[in-house]
């Protein structure tokens, strides 16, 4: 959704669905039906392909959705949301009334990386609490804040800082449509000191030695959406003469940011942060991990920033809450007030009754100089033959054998985490717009065979 609409919708009692316009048409149809919109706005990029299916066809408005939805195709939104607009249909839809802090303002699509997405409903009160909790204190920083965003504005990781806090706190901010090879040049041209992105973005920057000099103005890099291995962290920080703070953001669409490290705190232990103001975090302990003697279990979160429900899905809402605590589905532990993430519970692989973390395997694989990307998921789930499927993308010009990978992993991990692995070399790892590995798509590609 364009930024003008993002700012105008919360002014009244309207609700703002966040939707990725680049997703396939079938998923778009699901998102439209699930959020049940009254008005759809979108802009066309210069690279728009007229042969691609679009969400709403102006000549056939029933293509995916009903005729009652008012649509507007624009290059910019100037005038569309102004009271003087001459479009009566939109005027009726956007007639503002006084909003309550408990009114729903945002309909946030979950990522749907392992299945169909859901729609989390968040109130004005929840969003205001989050904006204040994540802001930090800019007066403590010893540099001028100039931000570059290449993350999607529709995503819970990005939206609070990209639009609302940027304007509320007067932070100069520059936007890219997506991360590409111009990123480092933009950092240098606009003297960028702070940026946000997923670990795959950091990996690409590490693999662009010709651009290292262009990144030297960075002082703060926030990452989220996927775990960051200690080896990738080291390699990224080694690019800089003056190392920036490399800071995790742990959260979910259902409640925004849960944990991070506020300035000037830094951490190199692998923690995903301390709970942000307003949130309580606890561990529903179920044992101890073989990497730590600290009790581990599902991470539970509660606070005023949390969603009210999944839109139109009472069962999913009841399943995700327990006595007011949201069950994240993540396994982790607390130590010295800091939160550590092990993996998604449903992603853990059972090998002969042992639990194997895909994230741990992926991070170990990325420590190999010839590995550009890696992803791991379970094969033969639920059977005695369940085992890890290892998908590897090698760096350009590198040749890597399965024997070399096994030797590399055995030097770093317990035997049961390695000996049952199956390997597939691939050309690319499918990812969402926010950098998350699309394991459902990856599994389909592996099972379908072919050259990927």
- Residues 8-51: tens digit of each pLDDT: 555 544 555 555 555 544 455 555 566 566 655 555 554 444 44
Among 337, 331, 347, residue whose Cα is nearest residue 298: 331
Domains of the chain (ranges plus CATH)? 3-99 (no CATH), 127-345 (3.40.50.12780), 348-448 (3.30.300.30)
Q: Which two tokens stand for residue 302?
A: 């509660």
pLDDT at 49: 47
pLDDT at 59: 44
Residue-level pLDDT at 31: 56
**What is the predicted pLDDT for the residue at 66?**
34
Q: Which secondary-structure segment (H or E) carries 318?
A: helix 314-320
Residue ranges for the chain with pLDDT beneath 70: 1-97, 111-116, 287-293, 450-452
pTM for this prediction: 0.75
Peptide bond into 264 cis (omega under 30): yes
The stretches of 135-239 forming alpha helices (DSSP H) are 159, 166-168, 183-189, 199-206, 230-237
Q: Please tell me the predicted confidence (pLDDT) of residue 30.
A: 52
What pLDDT shows up at residue 29? 54
- Selection from 398, 390, 399 nearest residue 429 by Cα: 390
Q: pLDDT at position 210, please?
A: 95
What is the reported pLDDT for 180? 92
């Amino acid at each position: 959704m364009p930024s003008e609409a993002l700012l105008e919708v919360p002014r009244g009692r309207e609700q703002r669905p966040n939707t990725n316009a680049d997703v396939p048409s079938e998923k778009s149809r699901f998102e439209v039906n699930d959020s049940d919109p009254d008005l759809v706005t979108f802009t066309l990029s210069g690279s728009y392909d007229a042969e691609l299916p679009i969400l709403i066809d102006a000549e056939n408005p029933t293509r995916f959705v009903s005729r009652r939805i008012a649509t507007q195709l624009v290059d910019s939104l100037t005038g569309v949301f102004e009271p003087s607009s001459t479009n009566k249909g939109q005027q009726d839809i956007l007639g503002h009334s006084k909003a309550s802090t408990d009114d729903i303002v945002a309909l946030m699509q979950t990522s749907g990386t392992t299945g169909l997405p859901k729609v989390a409903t968040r109130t004005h009160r929840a969003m205001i609490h989050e904006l204040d909790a994540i802001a930090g204190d800019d007066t403590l920083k010893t540099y001028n804040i100039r931000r570059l965003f290449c993350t999607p504005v529709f995503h819970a990781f990005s939206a609070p800082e990209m639009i609302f806090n940027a304007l509320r706190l007067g932070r100069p901010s520059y936007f890219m449509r997506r991360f590409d090879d111009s990123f480092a040049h933009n950092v240098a041209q606009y003297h960028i000191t702070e940026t946000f992105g997923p670990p795959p973005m950091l990996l690409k920057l590490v693999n662009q030695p010709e651009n290292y000099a262009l990144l030297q103005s960075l002082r703060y890099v926030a990452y989220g959406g996927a775990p960051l291995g200690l080896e990738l962290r080291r390699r990224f920080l080694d690019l800089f003469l003056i190392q920036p703070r490399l800071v995790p953001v742990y959260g979910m669409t259902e409640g925004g940011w849960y944990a991070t490290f506020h300035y000037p705190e830094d951490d190199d232990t692998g923690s995903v942060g301390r709970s942000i103001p307003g949130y309580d975090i606890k561990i529903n302990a179920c044992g101890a991990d073989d990497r730590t003697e600290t009790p581990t279990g599902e991470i539970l979160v509660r606070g005023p920033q949390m969603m009210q429900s999944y839109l139109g899905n009472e069962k999913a809402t009841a399943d995700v809450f327990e006595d007011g605590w949201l069950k994240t589905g993540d396994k982790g532990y607390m130590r010295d007030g800091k939160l550590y993430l092990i993996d998604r519970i449903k992603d853990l692989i059972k090998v002969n009754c042992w639990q194997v973390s895909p994230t741990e395997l992926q991070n170990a694989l990325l420590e190999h100089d010839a590995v550009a990307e890696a992803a791991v998921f379970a094969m033969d789930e639920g059977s005695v033959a369940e085992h890890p499927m290892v998908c590897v993308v090698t760096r350009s010009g590198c040749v890597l054998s399965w024997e070399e990978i096994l030797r590399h992993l055995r030097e770093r991990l317990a035997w049961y985490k390695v000996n049952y692995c199956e390997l597939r070399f691939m050309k690319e790892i499918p990812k969402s717009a926010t950098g998350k590995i699309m394991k459902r798509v990856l599994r389909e590609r592996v099972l379908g065979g072919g050259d990927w």
